[in-house]
C-alpha cells in the first residue's frame, strides 16, 4: 500500500513537473517572440519589404497620371475646338457619330484599373508616343483654324491648309489620334484596349482613303493633287 502511494505521488509530481516545464517553455517562447517584434519595430526591419511596394505603387501612379494628362489635353483640345466652332455655327464632329467614341471609355477604364503586361521600357515609350500624339493633334487643330473638321462637310466652305505641320503630313490630326492610341496601348496593354485601338485606327484610315481624299480632290482639284504629290498621307515629304 505504502509503495503504491509513493508511486502515485511520484507520478503526480512528474506530471506537475512536465506541465511546469511546458508552461515555462511556452512563456519563454512568447517572451522571445515579443522581444523580436519590439526589436524589429525599433530597427525598422518590418518596413524593409514595404519601400519596394511603395516605390512600385508610386511608379504606377506616375504612369496613370501621365496617361490621364495626355487624354485630358487630347480630348480637351477636341471638345474645346468643337464648342468654339459651334458658337460660330460650324459643325465640327462630322465623323464620330458613336463609331469610335467607345475607345475613350476603354482607355480610361484601362488606366484606372492599371492593366498592363509590358515592361517599363515599353510603358515609357508609350508615354513619349502618347505625349507626342497629343502635341501633334493640338498643333494640327491650331494650324487649321476654322477650316478644321473631324470628317468632311460638303456644305461648309473650307480652305486647303498646306502650311505649318501640314507641310510634313496631310493628316496630322489623324496621325495624332493614332499616336495617342498606340501610346496608351503600350502603357496599359490589355486585349480589349488592343481591339478598340486597332478598330479605331482602321476606321480612321478608311475614312481618309475612302472619304476625305475623294472629297478634297473633288473640292480643290489640281491644288490638292499638287499638294498630294509633295506630302505623304501620314508623315514625311516626297
Q: What is the pLDDT along the chain (238 residues), one digit of tens a residue?
A: 444 544 455 555 555 555 445 554 555 554 455 445 444 444 444 444 445 667 777 888 999 999 999 999 998 988 887 787 777 666 655 555 555 567 888 888 999 988 887 888 899 999 999 999 999 999 998 888 876 666 666 666 778 888 999 999 999 999 999 999 999 999 999 999 999 999 999 988 998 888 888 888 888 899 999 999 999 999 998 8
- Is the domain of 117 the same as that of 163? yes
Same domain, 143 and 29: no
Same domain, 107 and 215: yes
* Domain carrying residue 18: 2-45
Judge if 40 and 77 occupy the same domain: no
Considering the domain boundaries, does residue 238 fall inside one? Answer: no
Residue with cell 458613336: 98
Residue 21 and residue 62 in one domain? no
Q: Counting runs of H as helices and runs of E as strands, what totals does the chain give?
A: 8, 0
Instruction: Tell me: do 152 and 82 sit in the same domain.
Output: yes
Same domain, yes or no, for 78 and 107? yes
Domain assignment present for 197? yes
The total number of structural domains in the chain stands at 2
Q: Has residue 58 been placed in a domain?
A: yes
Residues 148 and 208 in one domain: yes
pTM over 0.75: no
Q: Is residue 237 part of a domain?
A: no
Q: Give yes or no for a contact between 67 and 133, defined as CB atoms under 8 angstroms apart.
A: no
Domain of 169, CATH number, reads 1.20.120.1630
Examine the domain organization and report whether 201 and 102 are in the same domain: yes
Same domain, 79 and 139: yes
> How remote is the C-alpha of 234 from its chain's centroid?
24
Residues 123, 183 contacting (CB under 8 angstroms): no
Amino acid at each position: 500500500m505504502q509503495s503504491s502511494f509513493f508511486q502515485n505521488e511520484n507520478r503526480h509530481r512528474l506530471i506537475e513537473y512536465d506541465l511546469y516545464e511546458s508552461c515555462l517553455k511556452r512563456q519563454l517562447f512568447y517572451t522571445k517572440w515579443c522581444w523580436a517584434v519590439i526589436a524589429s519595430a525599433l530597427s525598422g526591419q518590418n518596413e524593409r519589404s514595404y519601400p519596394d511596394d511603395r516605390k512600385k505603387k508610386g511608379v504606377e501612379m506616375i504612369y496613370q497620371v501621365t496617361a490621364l494628362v495626355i487624354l485630358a489635353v487630347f480630348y480637351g483640345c477636341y471638345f474645346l475646338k468643337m464648342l468654339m466652332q459651334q458658337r460660330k455655327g460650324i459643325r465640327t464632329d462630322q465623323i464620330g457619330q458613336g463609331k469610335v467614341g467607345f475607345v475613350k471609355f476603354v482607355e480610361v477604364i484601362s488606366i484606372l484599373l492599371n492593366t498592363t503586361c509590358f515592361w517599363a521600357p515599353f510603358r515609357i515609350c508609350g508615354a513619349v508616343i502618347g505625349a507626342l500624339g497629343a502635341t501633334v493633334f493640338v498643333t494640327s487643330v491650331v494650324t487649321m483654324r476654322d477650316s478644321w473638321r473631324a470628317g468632311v462637310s460638303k456644305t461648309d466652305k473650307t480652305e486647303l491648309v498646306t502650311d505649318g505641320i501640314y507641310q510634313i503630313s496631310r493628316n496630322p490630326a489623324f496621325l495624332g489620334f493614332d499616336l495617342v492610341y498606340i501610346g496608351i496601348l503600350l502603357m496599359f496593354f490589355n486585349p480589349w484596349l488592343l481591339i478598340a485601338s486597332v478598330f479605331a485606327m482602321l476606321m480612321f484610315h478608311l475614312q481618309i482613303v475612302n472619304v476625305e481624299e475623294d472629297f478634297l480632290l473633288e473640292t480643290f482639284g489640281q491644288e490638292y493633287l499638287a499638294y498630294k504629290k509633295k506630302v505623304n498621307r501620314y508623315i514625311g515629304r516626297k
